[in-house]
A = this chain, B = another copy of it.
Amino acid sequence: MLKPTPVTPDEVKRHNLARVLRHLHEDGELSRSDLVFLTGLNRSTIGSLVSDLAGADLVEEVSGVGGSRGRPSLVVRSKSKNVFVLAFDLRVDRIVCAAIGLGGEVLATLHRPRLDGPYPVENAIAAILESTDELFTKLPLGATWAGVGIAIPGVVETELGFVRKAPNLGWIDVPFGQDIERAFRSHMGVCPSVVLGNDANLGAIAEYVRGAATTSSSVVYLSGDVGVGGGVVLGGQVLTGGSGYAGELGHLVVNPNGQPCNCGSQGCWETEVGRDAILSAAGLRTGPDSFPELLELGKSDPEKMKQTLNQVGEWVGVGLVNLMNSIDPNYIVLGGHLADIYPYISEVVNRRVDQSRPDRKTRAEILLPSLSLDSPLVGAAEVAFGRLLSHPLQEMEQAFALV
């Protein structure tokens, strides 16, 4: 919609800086001509924007390969070692941490195991602070810390940094965003902006921005950890829903006469295809330690594994049919343990889907994640870059450099 209020030159410039920086962040190295083409701005405007971004130490121009007729040509790229965010994924059995540079380069990672079960908030804060100290030792001096993103396995009010409910952590109504900002300030005197997100929503963002599903803006990501979570991206935006509970795909009822779920319902998708349901189907004891054992069984006898997981595959298929008939995404990305078992259930899943969607053009493509790190962690980094990407110069002025 056109805005009737006047737009100031400063706003236009801020907006154009943001567009150029986002292209470099998401698409990688680009020539000035590429930027002219992608933004529709003229060559001299692009020149001036690139020079402003370079002046703020966000991008640099270097000799690229190719160019017309073999001449070396300049390309613009983000200075990924110079500006970074910290990303954390609070998983059921571990915390995954990373420092990720502008442009998406992974600068450092570490895993901290934790026990399955409730996780006191103060322990989570302590683990994040310790991990931050350790990550910082692996980063170049002078690098600029632009933000923090945290993936939470639960329902999150992103704007407020508020965790409404995270059953696998044992959290209800925790103002974790405020808590962690206060902790950073007291631990190291400063804190850039902190953004919390639901893990599956962040997974969907990651797969949409730089993963398996970049060619469409209509993507569902399924996280599989202990339960099943879902993130829905429509038109490039996360679907939050009327009450913040959109994408609670683990509680789609796929088997109305199935197992009781701790949500109060029965036969929810996660009671039928969650980690422990799969382990039970395979006759293994439930719990995080058995899953590698299951995957070993699959490797040694894939045919037996297919039979074992046949019914699990049916339930995965029923849920996917329901997503295609309600949201109709272009891509559905199976993450976490669903990615691990997909090779053994793909036949039965696709038979279910094809039965309901005989016209193959109208069914979503089922994909596995294509990121080297776990998708929610990458998504946490993406949202952590949000402020910098929309207000590049202002944020760089206020950001903190490692000393």
- Interface residue ranges, A against B (CB under 8 Å): 1-5, 7, 11-12, 15-16, 39-41, 216, 218, 230, 232, 234, 239-249, 251-256, 263-265, 268, 314, 318, 321-331, 355-358, 361-364
Contact = CB atoms under 8 A, between A and B. Distances in A.
Contacts of A331: 242
26 contacts: A1-B15, A2-B3, A2-B11, A2-B12, A2-B15, A4-B16, A4-B39, A4-B40, A232-B326, A234-B234, A239-B327, A239-B328, A241-B327, A242-B328, A242-B364, A244-B328, A244-B362, A245-B328, A246-B326, A247-B328, A249-B325, A252-B321, A253-B356, A263-B356, A265-B321, A323-B326
Given A245-B324, A248-B326, 4 more contacts: A242-B328, A252-B325, A263-B358, A265-B355
A356 B251 contact: yes
Contacts of A325: 245, 248-249, 251-252
A247 B11 CA distance: 39
The 10 closest A-B CB pairs, nearest first, are A241-B328, A242-B330, A265-B356, A246-B328, A243-B362, A248-B325, A218-B242, A251-B325, A245-B328, A2-B15
A5 B355 CA distance: 49
Most buried by B among A39, A331, A356: A356
Contacts of A232: 326
Contacts of A1: 15
A243 B356 contact: no
What's the number of copies of this chain in the assembled complex? Answer: 2
Contacts of A364: 242-243
B11 A15 contact: no
A326 B322 contact: yes
A218 to B, nearest CB: 4
A251 B252 CA distance: 14
Given A264-B355, A314-B256, A243 B2 contact: no
A240 B323 CA distance: 13
A117 to B, nearest CB: 22
A256 to B, nearest CB: 5
Contacts of A254: 253, 256
A389 B276 CA distance: 55
Contacts of A41: 4
Nearest to A266: B355
A318 B253 contact: yes
A364 B245 CA distance: 10
Contact of A328 (B234, B243, B363): B243
Nearest to A352: B265
